[in-house]
Chain A
Amino acid sequence: MELSRRRFAQVAGTAALAGGRLAGQQTPLTAQQVIDRVGNAGSADGIKAGDPASVVSGIAITAMATMDVLARAVRENANLVVTLEPAFFGSTDAPLTNDPVYTAKQEFIRQNGIVIWRFGNHWRARKPDPFASGLARTFAWTKYQIDDDPSRYELPAITIGALVDDVARRLNARAGIRVVGDAQTQVRRVTLLPGSTPLPAMLKALPECDAVIAGETREWESVEYAQDTVASGQKKGLIMIGRVVSEEPGMNLCAEWMKTLVPEVPVRAIPAGDPYWRPTV
C-alpha cells in the first residue's frame, strides 16, 4: 500500500514526461487517466461516483467531499473531486436506498459531471507523514521541528491557553476544539497526531512531550490518559482539533503534490471546514 520514495520518483518522472508531450496532445485528460497516473493503491480508495471517462476540467482536493465542497468545486470549474474521507456518509460509501439526501447529492454530482475519487489509504501511507507536516506548516512551526520527525516540535515556551487560541485562529476552527489541561500551563515540546488517534500512539507521545495536538481520540482512552497525566502533577495537555480539520492541511500538501503530477489542469484544495458550532451563551 505504501509507495516507496523510488516509486514516487518514478511516478513524478512519468508525469513530467506526460507534461512534456502536452503540446501535441489532442486527447483530453480523463479522470481515469489522472487516477492511473497518480496511483490508487488503497483498499477503500477508488471512484465513488461519476464516470471515469469524464474529461477533467480541474481537480479539487478536500478532506471530506461535503455538498458545500462540491458546490464550490463546481463554481471553480473543477469536476474531479479528490476526498480523503467518505463522500456518502460511511466508510464504504455504500448506496442508500430511498434516502432524499443521498439521492439529491448523487443528482447534483450527475448534473454537474463530477467524479468523486476517494484517495485516503494511499495518501495516509506517504512518508514523511504529510498530515503532520501540513499541520505544522499551517501553524508556521516547520522551523521548530525536532530531528527529521514531522510530528514533533520544540516551540518557544507558550501557555496552553495561548497555544489553543493561536491554533484555533490558524485553523479557522469553530466549536471543534476541546482541551484537557490547565490553560496557564507552559509548554514547549508539542507532538502532532492528526486524524483519529489510537491509544498506543498517545501512550507513546504524551510521556515524551508537553502537549499533544490530535484530531479525535476516545474519551475513555486517550482523554482519560491525558486527564490522569495532569492529575499526577505533570504540566501537560491534550488539544483535540477535530478529525477533518486536522486532516485538511495534509490535503493541501496533496494538492501541491498532485499539481506536479497533473500539470494539464488546475489543481486546488477546498477545505470542508470545522463542522461544529455551539450556542454562544
Chain B
Amino acid sequence: MTANDVVDRIKKNIGIPWNEKSYRDTFKVGDPNTEVKGIATTFMATLDLLQRAHAAGLNFVVTHEPTFWSDRDTVAELANDPIYKFKVDYCTRNNMVVWRYHDHIHSRPPDLIWVGLAHALGWQDRQVAGSFNRFTFPQTTLGALATEIQRRMSIRALRVVGDPSAKVSSAVVGMGYGMPRVTPDADVVIGGENPEAGAQFDDTEYILDAAYFGRNKGQIILGHAISEEPGMEDCANWLRTFVSEVPIQFIRSGEPFWSPKT
C-alpha cells in the first residue's frame, strides 16, 4: 500500500467531491509511491513530530497544518535555509512522506476538527439549538471557566482577557486561526489564534473596554494547536474505518509554547 493509495481511499470515503484545486491538501515531502509502513495523524508536521513518528515505525504523516512554515508550503526561497535542508534530508533518509489534510477535513460533514474541539471542551451537549458554534452553560465566572478549560485541555500558555469575576453563561467558539467576533448575545469568545490588534475586528481591545464599562465579557485564547489538535485524533479513528493494512496512530505535535509563571 503506497501513500497515494491511502490518499485515494480518503478521497473515496470522504463523502464530498474532492477539490483538486486545493493547494493545501497535497503531498509536501517524499515520494507518493512510497510503501506505507504506518500512518501518523497530527496537528503539524514539525521536525520533532517527524522524529517521533519515525521512532514509532510510521513513515506516512497526515498533517493538518504546514510542514515548511507557510500556508502554501512555499519552498522556492528556502533552498539555502539550513533547517529546510535538515528537515528534507531527515524525511528522505528515513523514507518519510508528508501529506496535508486541511481543507477537506473542515468541509466534510461533520468537520472532524470541530468535533474534536467540542469534545475536548466537553461541550458536546451544550450547543445552542440551530447553531454550530454557540454554547450555553450554567452561570459561572470568567475566571472559573478559564480555569476549567486550562485544566481540562492541559494548556500551558492559555491567555485570557476580561474581568475574572465577570459572570458568564454563553460562549461563541472558533478554532485554528479563528477568533469569532464578539457579539451581544455571547458573553465569552473562545478561539485558537488571532492577531492582537489591527485586524478587521479586534476582540482583545473590545473585551478590555467592555470590562472597563462593567460588562460581562471575556476572551479565551486557546492556541492554534490546542484548538485543532484533538480533531486529528478523530481523523485517525476515521482512517481506521477504511484502512486496516497498516497501523494508524494519532501523535500529538503538542502545544509549542511554555510560559513563565505569572
Contact = CB atoms under 8 A, between A and B. Distances in A.
A111 B198 CA distance: 26
Contact of B160 (A100, A105, A276): A276
A273 B74 CA distance: 36
Contacts of B81: 203, 207
A116 to B, nearest CB: 13
Contacts of A179: 257-260
A116 B208 CA distance: 18
A222 B257 contact: no
Contacts of A175: 157-160, 259, 262
B160 A220 contact: no
Contact of A275 (B46, B204, B212): B204
Interface stretch (A6-14, A25-33, A63-71, A130-138): A63-71
Contacts of B196: 196, 215-216, 242-244, 275
Interface residues of B, number: 59
A141 interface: no
Interface residues of A, number: 61
A177 B202 CA distance: 19
B69 A199 contact: yes
A183 B87 contact: no
A216 B202 contact: no
B71 interface: yes
B230 interface: no
A64 B256 CA distance: 28
B216 to A, nearest CB: 12
29 contacts: A68-B208, A86-B202, A89-B206, A101-B210, A161-B260, A175-B160, A176-B159, A178-B259, A180-B256, A196-B195, A196-B196, A199-B69, A207-B82, A207-B83, A216-B195, A218-B224, A219-B223, A220-B66, A220-B70, A223-B257, A224-B256, A225-B69, A228-B86, A231-B46, A231-B47, A277-B159, A277-B160, A278-B160, A278-B259
Interface of B: 44, 46-48, 51, 65-66, 69-71, 77-78, 81-83, 86-87, 143, 146-147, 150-151, 157-161, 164, 177, 184, 193, 195-206, 208-210, 212-213, 215, 221, 223-225, 256-260, 262
